[in-house]
Structure 1
Amino acid sequence: MIRLARLVVLAATLAAPSVAGAGPRDMVVPAQVIYPGDRITESMLSDTPAPNGDLTGILVERGQLVGKVARRTLLPGKAIPAVAVEEPRAVSMGGLVQLVYQADGLTIVTNAQALQNGYVGQVVQVRNIESGIVVSGAIQADGTVLVNGG
């Protein structure tokens, strides 16, 4: 009777998932070739069983990928390293942007050329096209660059 009880406990232990080795059961991989500069969409991804071993630096969830931009070619069925994707750029070096200056209720809008790539919230340098003056401003969600007076 004691042996039967031990056998039942052993079987239950083997059938239960291990907490110490718990990890993602599935991971996300490209379903197709994703080229550098492509914005990753839900339809470009598929699920595959996660391999045993260290997944440090590997993106395994859709939320970590959808909406990001590939920095290099991503191959179908292959793990996606975190360094292979980035946030989409709001401003590209050499591109035209609207430069907005605000101070004391005064708003001035002019065109400028971005001198560096940037993401929403990042401070970048731009050159005012009319005056040639280089200023720094924060990239807004609408793609404008905001320079506060003061």
Structure 2
Amino acid sequence: MMFRRRKKITNGGLLSLVMALSFGFAAPAAAEMGTAVVPRQIIYPGEEISPGAIEQVEVTNPKLVGEYARTADEVTGLVSNRTLLPGRTILLSALRAPYAVRRGSAVRLSFAIGSMMISAGGTPLQDASIGDVIRVRNTDSGIIVSGTVMANGTVQVMAR
């Protein structure tokens, strides 16, 4: 036999089926979607995100995909690259770390080989975050060198 005969569902059976479906499947699916972070007000490019400017909300759209911020800790202290609108999810690609050095400011250059360490003053030619490789002009000699921005605000010069 190729088909099976189905049992006839009575009104009581239909009600229990609907209850099982609504409580058994819908509730866990909504709980698995998680949370998202949205701005409470407009956040403009270059503006640092403060805890008061964002809120964490439950995700209700099952079609929401992508790398969006899920917790407030992920975005607090970061800087926006573009305008963020209230009520819209914040994409992680729209954020960057704050600049550790600013173009035209004074920084300390350091270069080390073995036990020898050389230090000089310099001026960054661009804004940069920690870990970025930038070009810096040595204020004493005028030579432009490349180096990595360190956490303490100095630039570790690379050997040529």
Q: Is the shorter-chain TM-score for this pair beyond 0.5, marking a shared fold?
A: yes
Q: 2:19 aligns with which of 8, 11, 31?
A: 11
Cα contact 2:37–2:89 (8 A) shared by 1? yes
What are the superposed Cα offsets for residues 29-77 of structure 1, whole Å, 9 maximum, x if unpaired? 1122323222212222113343412332433332331121012232322
Q: What is the aligned partner in structure 2 of residue 60 from structure 1?
A: 70
CA contact (8 A) 1:92 1:117 kept: yes
Structure with greater strand share of residues: 1
Q: Does 1:40 align with 2:36?
A: no
Q: Tell me, which stretches of 5 or more residues in structure 1 are unaligned?
A: none
State the Cα RMSD in Å. 2.9
The residue aligned with 2:148 is 138
- Tell me how far 1:131 sits from its aligned partner: 0.3
* 2:113 maps to which of 93, 103, 122: 103
Q: Which runs of 4+ in 1 moved over 6 A?
A: none
5-14 or 96-105, which deviates more: 5-14
1-structure distance, mates of 2:80, 2:132 = 20
Spell out, residue by residue over 1:74-111, the C-alpha distance to the aligned partner (whole angstroms, 9 max, x if none): 23223223332211122233332111122232323221
TM-score by length of 2: 0.74
Structure-1 separation of matches of 2:20 and 2:121: 69
* Overall identity of the aligned pairs, in %: 33
Q: Secondary structure at the match of 2:22?
A: helix
8 Å CA contact retained: 1:102, 1:149? no
CA contact (8 A) 1:48 1:77 kept: no
CA distance, structure 2, for counterparts of residue 31 and residue 21 of structure 1: 23
What is the CA-CA distance between 1:140 and the residue it aligns to?
0.7
Structure whose CA Rg is larger: 2
Q: Could you list the runs of 5+ residues in structure 2 that have no partner in the other structure?
A: 1-8
Contact 2:56 2:72 survives alignment (8 Å) = no
Contact 2:56 2:71 in 1 (8 A): no
Could you tell me how far apart the structure 1 residues matched to 2:111 and 2:103 are? Answer: 20
